[in-house]
Amino acid sequence: MHVIAEGLFTDEATPRLIGGRNRHSGRIVFPCPPGEEYEPWPLAREGRLWSFTVQRYRPKSPPYAGPEAFRPWIVGYVELPGEVIVESRVVNIGFDEVRIGMELELTFVPLDPDAAEPIMIHAFQPKGASA
């Protein structure tokens, strides 16, 4: 899997996001900041949708493709219990079906599904949905 950045995901058979746990306070953040203050912390794969919106306008280019290639997507904040709230795409659900509080699980999707060599990013989908 070609990922958007190194150090964001574990290399387990079922990858997890890697957050950072502050060595002094125990506070968890995502992504893991560089330096000695934080230690890598594998985050939970499941959480609940805390808030969301639908990205209906094309971000500027580059890196995004021109207007003819733009497709809206759901952007959500996913609360990983006892850890952190992560910003992510929410996939495999219709815009009118998404609900705050719904159970979600981590998945990976291509940043550009039409690319010859897709770059994978993290996303969350309804628990039990197929990627």
The answer to whether position 7 is within a domain reads: no
Q: Which two tokens stand for residue 73?
A: 């997507």
The answer to whether position 30 is within a domain reads: no
Q: What is the secondary structure of 59-82 as a DSSP string?
A: PPTTTS--GGG---EEEEEEEETT
The answer to whether position 118 is within a domain reads: yes
Q: Which two tokens stand for residue 59?
A: 């971000």
- Residue 67: predicted pLDDT: 64
Dump pLDDT digits (tens) for 66-98: 666 778 899 999 999 999 999 999 999 999 999
- Residue 1: predicted pLDDT: 59
How far, in Å, CA of 72 to CA of 76, rounded? 13
- Kindly report the backbone phi and psi dihedral angles of residue 69, in degrees, each rounded to the nearest multiple of 5, phi listed first: -100, -5
The answer to whether position 64 is within a domain reads: yes
How far, in Å, CA of 74 to CA of 53, rounded? 6
**Is residue 6 over pLDDT 60?**
yes
Domain total in the chain:
1
Q: What percent of the chain has pLDDT over 70?
A: 91
The answer to whether position 18 is within a domain reads: no
Query: What is the pLDDT averaged over residues 101-120?
Result: 88
The answer to whether position 20 is within a domain reads: no
How does DSSP classify residue 40?
A: E
- Residue 4: predicted pLDDT: 83
Query: Domain range for residue 114?
Result: 44-126
User: What is residue 127's three-state secondary structure?
Assistant: coil
Dump pLDDT digits (tens) for 25-59: 999 999 999 999 999 999 999 999 999 999 988 77
- Residue 120: predicted pLDDT: 87
- Residue 7: predicted pLDDT: 85
Task: Quote the mean pLDDT of the chain.
Answer: 90
The answer to whether position 27 is within a domain reads: no
- Residue 43: predicted pLDDT: 98
**Is residue 131 over pLDDT 70?**
no
**Is residue 104 over pLDDT 80?**
yes
How far, in Å, CA of 76 to CA of 79, rounded? 10
The answer to whether position 23 is within a domain reads: no
End-to-end CA distance of the chain: 15
